[in-house]
């Protein structure tokens, strides 16, 4: 049996703005039901890529398939199968939340029940309030609701939680998890590594228009063979750390020395690089005076 066709397929995608090449040949695939994250610093090319997939921008080169179609032609059928949460919409202000959802639902052939969407987006209590009275976080929930009400197969979320307070972020994460449970495919962009780690099955890290790493968030760090061993120095009371590819030998050496002194190794830990370590390393500016204060792994490397 053939494997399920990817929900999104991108091959050698390129986009130039005049002389400037913002996207420089990227490849990735998103499987149906997967939550895929595009991570990268400002200006990396995330929004450009997503908007090409949504059909809002034209590519300069490469192949793009979204639910088996080329979004550049803006096929009507495709637009009914995708949901888009833009960075901010706020397009309904003078009608109630329920009315906004019901209105938007009419554009779709098989919309979800409005009450169900209110529940999914956590907006039941605000259902009969005017949209303009919603807080920023609640407005964002309405954006989510609008993206869901057409019951799309694929949902694009561009920086879904930027500007949220911690509680609103967690609520938005719950919405994304509900989408995942419903079997939807989600493509999101984010600057927040904890968000990518919490939500994404796989991520691609983009820098200057190229993918510099991709894979499940946990594996991006775990694929590294370098471990960081940290402990509190008995002499100075300060934390010390070393990077090693052989933590067994280093721990043996450290613990033997501590036992020989009749002491202990306080605050001992052995860690692999986190997604954040990998991200910072891959997206760091070329070596400069600012390199070096980002995390313990980088500092430890300098100390060995
Ligand atoms: P951010 O995290 O800041 O949203 P991003 O990764 O989404 O960034 P893009 O918005 O895709 O980045 O921009 C990629 C690059 O292309 C940037 O250097 C940006 O200045 C440039 N760019 C984007 N849109 C245009 C445009 N319409 N005309 C010219 N240059 C553009």
Residues 75 and 19 in one domain: yes
Looking at ligand 1, which atom is closest to the CA of residue 41? 2
Q: How far is the CA of 53 from the centre of ligand 1 (A)?
A: 15
Residues 232 and 201 in one domain: no
Give residue 239's pLDDT.
Answer: 92
The answer as to whether 142 is a domain residue is no
Q: Are β-strands 61-66 and 202-207 bridged in parallel, bridged antiparallel, or unpaired?
A: unpaired
Q: Domain with 216 in it: what CATH number?
A: 3.40.50.300
Q: Is 209 in the pocket of ligand 1 (CB under 6 A)?
A: no
Give residue 74's pLDDT.
Answer: 78
- Report the domain count for the chain: 2
Strand-pairing partners, residue 70, are none
Looking at ligand 1, which atom is closest to the CA of residue 51? 11
Residues 73 and 161 in one domain: yes
Q: How far is the CA of 163 from the centre of ligand 1 (A)?
A: 19
Residues 21 and 72 in one domain: yes
Strand-pairing partners, residue 229, are 242, 270
Give residue 7's pLDDT.
Answer: 97
Residues 193 and 254 in one domain: no
Residues 161 and 259 in one domain: no
Give residue 185's pLDDT.
Answer: 96
Give residue 300's pLDDT.
Answer: 34
The answer as to whether 30 is a domain residue is yes
The answer as to whether 107 is a domain residue is no
From 17, 204, 206, mutation site for ligand 1 pocket: most ligand atoms within 8 A of C-beta: 17
What number of residues does the chain have?
A: 304
Q: Is 36 within 8 Å of 216 (Cβ atoms)?
A: no
Residues 204 and 233 in one domain: no
Residues 36 and 74 in one domain: yes
Q: Output the pTM of the full model.
A: 0.78
Q: Is 33 within 8 Å of 185 (Cβ atoms)?
A: yes
Give residue 301's pLDDT.
Answer: 31
d(CA 229, CA 109): 57
Give residue 32's pLDDT.
Answer: 96
The answer as to whether 175 is a domain residue is yes
Single out the residue in 203, 221, 239 at which a domain terminates. 221
- Per-residue pLDDT reduced to its tens digit, 20-52: 999 999 999 999 999 999 999 889 999 999 999
Q: Give alpha helix (H) positions in the chain.
A: 46-54, 76-81, 97-105, 114-120, 136-148, 166-181, 193-199, 217-222, 247-260, 275-283, 296-303
Which residues of the chain fall short of a pLDDT of 70?
1-3, 86-91, 221-224, 286-304
Q: How far is the CA of 44 from the centre of ligand 1 (A)?
A: 7
Give residue 302's pLDDT.
Answer: 33
Task: Provide, for the chain, the percentages of residues in helix, strand and coil under a 3-state DSSP scheme, each rounded to the nearest 5.
Answer: 35, 25, 35
Give residue 262's pLDDT.
Answer: 86
For residue 287, what are its two tokens? 């070596």
Residues 158 and 77 in one domain: yes
Which residues form the domain of 35? 8-81+153-221
Looking at ligand 1, which atom is closest to the CA of residue 38? 6
User: Which residue lies with its CA nearest to atom 17 of ligand 1?
Assistant: 43
Q: How far is the CA of 48 from the centre of ligand 1 (A)?
A: 6
Q: How far is the CA of 20 from the centre of ligand 1 (A)?
A: 10
From 22, 24, 162, 205, mutation site for ligand 1 pocket: most ligand atoms within 8 A of C-beta: 22
Give residue 59's pLDDT.
Answer: 97
Give residue 26's pLDDT.
Answer: 97
Residues 20 and 66 in one domain: yes
Residues 50 and 158 in one domain: yes
The answer as to whether 302 is a domain residue is no
Q: How far is the CA of 47 from the centre of ligand 1 (A)?
A: 7
Q: How far is the CA of 33 from the centre of ligand 1 (A)?
A: 28
Give residue 3's pLDDT.
Answer: 65
The answer as to whether 124 is a domain residue is no
Give residue 277's pLDDT.
Answer: 79
Looking at ligand 1, which atom is closest to the CA of residue 191? 2
């Amino acid at each position: 049996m053939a494997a399920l066709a990817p929900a999104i397929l991108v091959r050698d995608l390129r986009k130039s703005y005049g002389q400037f090449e913002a996207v420089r040949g990227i490849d990735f695939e998103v499987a149906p039901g997967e939550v895929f994250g595009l991570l990268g610093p400002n200006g990396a090319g995330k929004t450009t890529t997503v908007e090409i997939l949504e059909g809002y921008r034209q590519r300069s080169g490469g192949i793009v398939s979204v639910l088996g179609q080329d979004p550049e032609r803006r096929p009507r059928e495709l637009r009914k199968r995708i949901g888009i949460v833009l960075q901010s919409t706020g397009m309904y202000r003078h009608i109630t939340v329920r009315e906004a959802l019901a209105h938007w639902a009419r554009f779709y052939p098989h919309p979800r029940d409005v009450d169900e969407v209110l529940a999914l987006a956590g907006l039941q209590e605000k259902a009969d309030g005017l949209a303009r009275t919603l807080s920023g976080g609640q407005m964002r929930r309405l954006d989510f609701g609008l993206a869901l009400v057409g019951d799309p197969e694929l949902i694009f979320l561009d920086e879904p939680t930027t500007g949220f307070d911690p509680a609103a972020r967690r609520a938005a994460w719950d919405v994304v998890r509900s989408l995942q449970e419903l079997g939807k495919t989600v493509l999101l962009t984010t600057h927040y590594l904890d968000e990518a780690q919490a939500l994404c099955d796989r991520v691609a890290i983009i820098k200057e228009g190229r993918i510099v790493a991709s894979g499940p968030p946990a594996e991006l760090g775990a694929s590294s063979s370098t471990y960081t061993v940290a402990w509190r120095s008995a002499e100075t009371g300060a934390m010390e750390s070393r990077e090693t590819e052989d933590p067994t030998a280093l721990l043996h050496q450290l613990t033997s020395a501590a036992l020989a002194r009749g002491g202990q190794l306080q605050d001992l830990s052995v860690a692999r690089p986190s997604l954040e370590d990998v991200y910072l390393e891959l997206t760091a500016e070329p070596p400069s005076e600012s390199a070096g204060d980002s995390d313990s792994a980088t500092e430890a490397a300098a100390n060995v």
